[in-house]
A and B are shown apart, each in its own frame.
Chain A
């Protein structure tokens, strides 16, 4: 589904990503972790072309992201993304947030779009908030709406960029529960997160990044059982004893 081949990226002389390669199969859930500044958010933004990269190749469903001839908007319309700071559109009601891209990008009729949006809003348990504005919701609620907004586009896979790190601790679980539900439903997911509990429950593989490189890329059991690199071990013990 997603194939990342020897991707490197630099800002001027600063190397952000070096030779990153991995594959995500259909239905697979991959957790990407690592210390801050390790390039994990940059890598996930390269997957849908929000960040350009200089070397290597990324294929999503067989389409090359780096190819200038690729219609990126068309590709992104089918790759859901959830951001650290939710990024709901503050000037639109929850319903409009869910419907706007379906209408303007997918060309759905308003009625169909609202219908689909509300169904997903119900799935994340927020149907009652349909007419509110983002600023009137808690962080956890906003993030659940953001997930529903991405799902409304019928994505072939979902990217999560630290979806819980801007949340108050008591709201983390309501968002993780939605994500677990998605994972168990067979969604292909690439998740940048420090929530190791989530990784243990639903991830198939865990990728550990440090200084722009993929240091570990192992099945969940192997990663938590015997992480090979010293840095990964340090990172894990820090996270677990936090």
Chain B
């Protein structure tokens, strides 16, 4: 085999000029970070709300939440992404659809990917939040209500603070997933990290360097998130608390 290794390829100027291949990779990384973090905020907000709804009395609200989870869990992420990106602008009322299609394509790709990843991950967060709340002893809810808290206050002050602490480990893996899943956005042309790596392959014929760099970057992101979430787990640990159940 006669592969010619050339790690200095990253320092070469791109054909269009103005930056190096390394610059491309870094801008891809920035896009990956921005996409993942903004989608994570959506996932946490929607997932928490839906997770709470799944546990409240009243069939209607928990039914809506269950429908949300099933819908977003049983359609492949790629199909969801294509529906957000290709289908939604078409079936919106013509005026809104055209206005959307008129904005910067990069921004279109980004918003579609952000909403898609956010709602997709939100369905998983929802299930974690629900199981966290369900794992608390029933007496905790009673104790909150018996002190005169309203149901929302009982969730806010009693149930959710413990439920979120309990589900930090599974939330960590969802947080990791969102970084990995963000690479799917390359399929609609969003120039995130994986797409920049692929572009580099097309331009330089140095596939190994490019792919190794992208793979290592994803591994580093992974390690970084794990360290971060470990910190979160340590910071929120409750003194003397051993586990759920009563």
Contacts and interface: CB of A to CB of B under 8 A. Distances in A.
Same complex:
yes
B94 to A, nearest CB: 48
B239 A50 contact: no
B232 interface: no
Interface residues of B, number: 24
B162 A77 contact: no
Contact of B157 (A45, A72, A88, A100): A100
Nearest to A133: B239
B142 interface: yes
Interface string B208-242: 00000000000000000000000000000011111
A135 B241 contact: yes
Given A91-B161, A136-B239, A83 B147 contact: no
Nearest to A88: B143
A84 B140 CA distance: 11
B157 A85 contact: no
A135 to B, nearest CB: 3
A91 B137 CA distance: 14
A90 interface: yes
Contacts of A105: 147-149, 153
B139 interface: yes
Contacts of B144: 89
B157 A104 contact: yes
B19 interface: no
Contacts of B142: 45, 50, 81, 83, 87
Given A87-B137, A87-B139, A104-B157, A153 B147 contact: yes
B180 interface: no
Contacts of B161: 89, 91
A182 interface: no
B165 interface: yes
B239 A101 contact: no
A151 to B, nearest CB: 12
A150 B146 CA distance: 9
Contact of B139 (A83, A100, A137): A83
Given A84-B139, A87-B140, A76 B146 contact: yes
B137 to A, nearest CB: 6
Enumerate the 6 nearest inter-chain pairs by beta-carbon distance, A residue then B residue, closest first.
A135-B240, A77-B148, A87-B143, A136-B240, A101-B147, A81-B146
Interface of B: 137, 139-140, 142-150, 153, 157-158, 161-162, 165, 238-242, 246
Interface of A: 45, 48, 50, 72-81, 83-85, 87-91, 100-101, 104-106, 132-137, 149-150, 153
20 contacts: A50-B142, A73-B145, A76-B148, A78-B148, A83-B143, A87-B143, A89-B161, A90-B162, A90-B240, A91-B162, A91-B241, A101-B148, A105-B147, A105-B149, A132-B240, A133-B238, A133-B239, A149-B147, A150-B147, A153-B147
